[in-house]
Amino acid sequence: MRRPGLLASTWVLFRKDLLLEWRSRARVNALLFFSLATLLLFSFALGPDTALLRRNAGGYLWLALLLASVLALGESFRVERENATLEGLRLVPVNARAIFLAKAVANAVLLAGLGGLLVPVLVALLDVRIVLPVGQLLGLILLGCLAIAAPGTLYGAIASHARARDVLLPLLLFPILIPALVAAAKGTALVFEGDPMGQFPSWVALLTSFDLIYWGLGVLLFPRVVEE
Amino acid sequence: MSKPVRIGFVLFAIALLVSGAWIGLAWAPPDREMGHVQRIMYMHVPAAWMALLSATMNFGACVSYLWKASWKKDAFAEATAEVGLLFGTIAILLGAIWGRPTWGVYWAWDPRLTTMAILLVAYAGYLALRRFVDDPDRRAVWSAVVGIIIAVDVPVVYFSVKWWKSLHQVQSTPRTVDPQMVIALRWNAFAFLAVLIVFLVTRYRIALAARMRETTVPDAPAGAREAVAS
Amino acid sequence: MEIRGPEPIGCKNCRTTGSLGANGTWAACVSRRFRTVHLSSNDVELAPALHLHEVSKRYGARWALVRVSLTVRRGTALLLTGHNGSGKTTLLRVLATAVRPSSGKVEILGLDAALEPERVRAQVGLLSHAHYVYEDLSGLENLLVLARLLREPGSAATEALERLGLSPKDDRPVRTYSAGMRRRLALARLFLKRPAVALLDEPFVELDPTGVAELEARIRELRSAGTTLVLATHHIEQGLQLCTDRLHLEQGRSIAA
């Protein structure tokens, strides 16, 4: 019996994670409506000056995604704790790195999908224009969600085994994500308002380097997190 | 460290601190622009340095622990995180106190101050994690992982805040420094270093004692027999 | 049902590949800390299925296992008894390499569990309290994930399900399963893997008498295929019928019965 390599295992587990997310799509829907509710909350808390709201729309998008990510990541690992499936995977044996990659990518895809769906909401609710090409916005959203997913998956694994896990995950995650949040929000603001000074690529570069560093750390450290 | 050495060192640290306070408050000249308010720098800056030094030591302890586990390293990591958090909080509070008369505000999004604030929240999370994990082995491994991630994040945070801030007006801190001020700063830096060492050693010993208590070894029974499937 | 052997590897020293011999023994190359050592078939024939030497496991301040040593020969079945909290589950988890012992040596089929956990895991199947299945997926979907990770065809998953009396066409999520069906699904996972060593942690709980009889039959099947078995159970009567040897644990210490 030859075991599959890292990429093959990752692919199998990624499909499994997507299937799980699809099976619980009621939860995913709830997540979407949670994000909508968050955007409404921001609008009410900080409105009704529409010019102000429009200017800050980028920030609101990423705050909403960040809050939703805590719920999504928590759920992603609650599923694994139910029947100790994470241990079951380790004992197959599956390379722990494959588990990390699959889960992190699945979480990133889920969040990016959510982000994509929120864009038209922003356009409608806050009257934003998309000045730069839409592709750039979608790419930025994907990069930002990758940035959330990597440390989020790592910390999600840790928090799911600790007490007070609902508080611990955001407490651990948010400080780490501040650079990514800054870059993503600024980049999104540029997409909505135009980029006369050509700063967009720099923010993308910051976000990309953040992604590389944190995906590298995640792949490196995740095996230590799940071993006993 | 034996007890007399420890007590001696504590006294030494106190002496340094007291003399440093006198040097900073009385001996050093007042600043040309800011006047006596500037004197708070003699505590604010060393506090910040000690916080960063602690954070660096924490990173070292975390990496070292993952390389080869030992309770001493874990205890040291716990000590550096907590003491670093303390010094960082002092640094930020003093910075705020200085900021009010100087800039007119308690807080400005200065890159260094902002990075320090983020660092403090991150280490508060680190300590919360340690509090919420009961098994000592997993607690040690997980907090080592978290410590490493925090440490790697610090330069990224600093750089991104600096960039973010540079799009708006820059808070400059020009420094042409009187040699007496330099001496005062250095003296207080050493005083703070001595205090840091005292706190770290004490906190380390507490943490190590807690680890030992959590993991005491029972005596193996004299007659544990090998069971062989015949 | 034939048991898998270890996957063939090449020894740097002699380029010999390991393979399962005719009588179920094998010659193999084993890596020991950056070197590859060629074991002669004599060495390997004598290697027992399980060998623990002075294994202890600490959880916090509590010692779940204290210097347990045991040897189990291939093809035999060990009955593991003891009160709740005596360390049976911990012992099985140590054997499955789910946890690393705090001290002591664990050797499975001649492989050192500390040095080569992945190779050991490929040969060991654990039926634990937690069933390792996803509640939202159906039985077949769960087994297909495992099959793909084992590089087995999808038909193997269907076969394993049918063998345990579960319908592959049933696409209800595991959440709706009864306790007996869950146990059968967990066993199906074990049968799909076909390990050389099967560790069963209290498999008879929550089963009605029919379920118990079926499970006994399955265990006999495993044994007749040559699987080495460790069975932890309170149902001593069943255990004694199915097993060749017995080990009793009390407060983490082994007491030969």
Task: Identify whether the C-beta of residue C39 lies closer than 8 Å to the C-beta of residue C110.
Answer: yes
Phi and psi angles of residue C53, each rounded to the nearest 5 degrees, phi first: -125, 115
Which of C99, C124, C133 lies nearest to residue A85, judging by beta carbons?
Answer: C133
- The total of structural domains in chain A comes to 1
Rg (CA), chain A: 18
pLDDT band at C235 (very low <50, low <70, confident <90, very high): confident
Mean pLDDT, chain C, rounded, equals 82
Give the residue from C149, C183, C185 with the most A CB atoms within 10 Å of its CB, the best one to mutate: C149
Instruction: Check if the beta carbon of residue A127 is closer than 8 Å to that of residue A50.
Output: yes
Residue B59 has pLDDT above 50, yes or no: yes
Under an 8 A CB cutoff, do B215 and C60 touch?
A: yes
Q: Is residue A1 assigned to a domain?
A: no
Q: Do both C171 and C128 map to the same domain?
A: yes
Do C90 and C201 have their domain in common? yes
- Residues C81 and C208 both lie in one domain: yes
pLDDT tens-digit map of C144-191: 999 999 988 999 999 999 988 888 888 899 999 988 889 899 999 999
Quote the percentage of chain B above a pLDDT of 70.
88
Query: With 80 as the cut, is the pLDDT of residue A11 above it?
Result: yes
CA distance C257 to chain A (A): 31
Pick the closest to residue B138 from C59, C225, A108, C42 (CA basis).
C59
- pLDDT at position C12, please? 44
> Tokens at residue B12, please?
């030494």
Q: Do B133 and A164 touch (CB under 8 A)?
A: no
Q: How far is C27 from chain B (nearest CA, A)?
A: 23
Identify which of B122, B129, B160 has the shortest CB distance to residue A168.
Answer: B129
Residue C2 has pLDDT above 80, yes or no: no
Q: B225 to chain C, minimum CA–CA distance in Å?
A: 7
Query: By the CB < 8 Å criterion, does C183 face chain A?
Result: no
* Amino acid at residue number B94: L
**Would C54 be classed as within a structural domain?**
no
| Helix A165-193 / helix A134-159 crossing angle, nearest 10 deg | 170
Nearest by CB to B224, from C58, C67, C71: name it.
C67
pLDDT digits (tens, 9 = 90+) for A138-148: 999 999 999 99
Determine contact: A78 vs chain C, CB below 8 A.
Answer: no
Cβ contact (<8 Å) for B135 and C66? no
| Proportion of chain C above pLDDT 90, given as a percent | 35
Segment among B18-32, B68-82, B171-185, C79-93 with least mean pLDDT: B171-185
In angstroms, the separation between the Cα of residue A163 and the nearest Cα of chain B is 5
Interface contact flag, A183 B149, Cβ < 8 Å: no
At position C80, the amino acid (one-letter code) is L
CB A90 within 8 Å of CB C146: no
Gap between the Cα atoms of A191 and A177, Å rounded: 21
| DSSP state letter for B25 | I
B70 is written with which tokens? Answer: 């030992």
Using a pLDDT cut of 90, give the percent of chain B over it: 47
How far is the CA of A201 from the CAs of A108, A187, B98, in angstroms? 21, 8, 37
- Is the pLDDT at B20 greater than 80, yes or no? yes
How many residue pairs from chains A and B have C-beta atoms closer than 8 A? 86
In the predicted structure, residue A30 carries a pLDDT above the cut 50: yes
Annotate B137-193 with DSSP letters as a single string.
Answer: HHHHHHHHHHHHHHHHHHHHHHHHHHHHHHTS----------HHHHHHHHHHHHHHH
Query: Does A69 score more than 90 pLDDT?
Result: yes
What is the least distance, in Å, from the CA of C59 to any CA of chain B?
Answer: 7
At a CB cut-off of 8 Å and minimum separation 6, what does C188 contact? C139, C143, C160, C161, C163, C164, C166
pLDDT at C20 over 90: no
Task: Say if C207 is an interface residue toward chain A (CB within 8 Å).
Answer: no
Q: Residue A55: pLDDT above 90?
A: no
Question: Tell me, what amino acid is at C102?
Answer: S
- C146 lies within 8 A of chain A by CB: yes
Q: What is the residue range of C225's domain?
A: 73-99+115-256
- A87: which chain C residues are within 8 Å (Cβ-Cβ)? 98, 130, 132
Residues B229, C61: C-beta atoms closer than 8 Å: no
Q: Does A212 touch chain B (CB under 8 A)?
A: no
**Residues in C lying within 8 Å of B, measured between beta carbons:** 56, 58-61, 63, 66-73, 76, 78, 244-245, 247, 253-256
Which of A165, A167, A225 is facing B142, going by the closest CB pair?
A: A225
Average pLDDT score over chain A: 92
> Is pLDDT above 50 for A134?
yes
Tokens of A51: 């010019």
Q: What's the confidence (pLDDT) of residue C40?
A: 56
Interval C66-84 mean pLDDT:
89
Three-state secondary structure call for residue A85? helix
Provide the token pair at B130.
């340690």
Q: State pTM to two decimals.
A: 0.87
Cβ contacts (< 8 Å) between C58 and chain B: which residues? 215, 217
Chain A CB contacts of B140 under 8 Å are none
Question: How sure is the predictor about C46, in pLDDT bands with cuts at 50, 70 and 90?
Answer: low
Asked if the structure places residue A44 within a domain, the reply is yes
Residue A89 clears pLDDT 50, i.e. is over it: yes
Same domain? C92 vs C19: no
Q: Average the pLDDT over B168-183 and give the result.
A: 63
C173: number of Cβ within 10 Å: 17
**H or E element: which one contains C140?**
helix C139-149
Any alpha helices (H) in chain A, and if so which ranges?
6-23, 25-46, 50-55, 57-82, 85-90, 96-126, 134-159, 165-193, 200-226
Answer yes or no: is pLDDT of B227 > 50. Answer: no
List the single residue in C with minimal CA-CA distance to B137.
Answer: C60
| Residue of A19, A92, A95 with shortest CB distance to C150 | A92
Q: Give the least confident one: A171-175, B183-187, B223-227.
A: B223-227
Distance CA B133, CA B121 (A): 19
- Residue A116 structural domain: 6-226
- Closest Cβ–Cβ partner in C68, C245, C254 for B229: C245
Mean pLDDT of A39-44: 90
Residue C234: pLDDT band with limits 50, 70, 90 = confident
Binary contact (B226, C69; C-beta < 8 A): yes
CA distance to partner chain A, nearest, from residue B225 (Å): 27
How sure is the predictor about A98, in pLDDT bands with cuts at 50, 70 and 90?
A: very high
> What is the per-residue pLDDT for B81?
97
Q: What is the mean pLDDT of residues B140-169?
A: 85
Mutate: best of B163, B167, B168, partner A, most A CBs <10 A: B163
pLDDT of res. C22:
43
Which residues from A are below 8 Å from B161, CB to CB? 178-179, 182
| Average confidence (pLDDT) over A25-46 | 91
What is the average pLDDT across B64-86? 96
Residue A108 corresponds to which tokens in the numbers above?
A: 């990133």
CATH number where C199 lies: 3.40.50.300
Subunit contact B224:C66, Cβ cutoff 8 A? yes
Give CA–CA dist C113/C105, Å, rounded.
Answer: 8
Q: For the segment C170-182, what is each residue's pLDDT rounded down to a tens digit? A: 889 999 998 888 9
The predicted model gives B11-29 an average pLDDT of 86
What are the pLDDT digits (tens) for A180-201? 999 999 999 999 988 888 889 9
Indicate the pLDDT class of residue B120, thresholds 50, 70 and 90: very high
pLDDT the model gives residue C13: 44
Residue C143 has pLDDT above 70, yes or no: yes
The answer on C249 and C190 residing in a single domain is: yes
Q: Smallest Cβ distance to C4: which of A1, A9, A227?
A: A1
- Section C32-37 average pLDDT: 50
Would you call A16 and C193 a contact, using CB atoms and an 8 Å cutoff? no
Instruction: Give pLDDT, residue C16.
Output: 45
Report the residue of chain A nearest B119, measured CA to CA. Answer: A175
Q: Does A206 touch chain B (CB under 8 A)?
A: yes
Interchain contact, B129 vs A206, CB within 8 Å: no
Overall number of domains in chain C: 2
Q: Report DSSP letters for C62-81, one per residue.
A: EEEEEEEEEEE-TT-EEEEE
* Contact state of B129 with A183 under an 8 Å Cβ cutoff: no
pLDDT digits (tens, 9 = 90+) for C96-134: 999 999 889 999 988 889 988 888 998 899 999 888 999
Q: Higher pLDDT residue, B179 or A107? A: A107
The DSSP string of A11-34 is: HHHHHHHHHHHHHTHHHHHHHHHH
In a domain, C68, yes or no: no
Contacting B residues, span 191-230, partner chain C, CB-CB under 8 Å: 213-218, 220-221, 224-230
Judged against a pLDDT cut of 70, whether residue A212 lies above it is answered with yes
Helices A96-126 and A134-159 pack at an angle, to 10 degrees, of 130
User: Residue C196: is its pLDDT beyond 50?
Assistant: yes
Least CB-CB distance to B148: which of A179, A206, A221?
A221
Give the model's pLDDT for residue B1. 67
pLDDT digits (tens, 9 = 90+) for B80-94: 999 999 999 999 999
- B226 pLDDT more than 50: no
Asked if the C-beta of A83 comes within 8 angstroms of chain C's C-beta atoms, the answer is yes
Q: What gap in Å lies between CA B104 and CA B97, rounded to an integer? A: 10
Q: Which residues fall within 8 angstroms of residue C179, CB to CB, at 6 or more apart?
A: C206, C207
Q: Which range among A84-93, B101-110, C56-65, C215-224 shows the weakest confidence by mean pLDDT?
A: B101-110
Q: What is the per-residue pLDDT for C49? A: 83
> Is residue B3 within 8 angstroms of chain C, CB to CB?
no
Of A97 and C257, the one with more pLDDT: A97
pLDDT at residue C7 in the model: 43
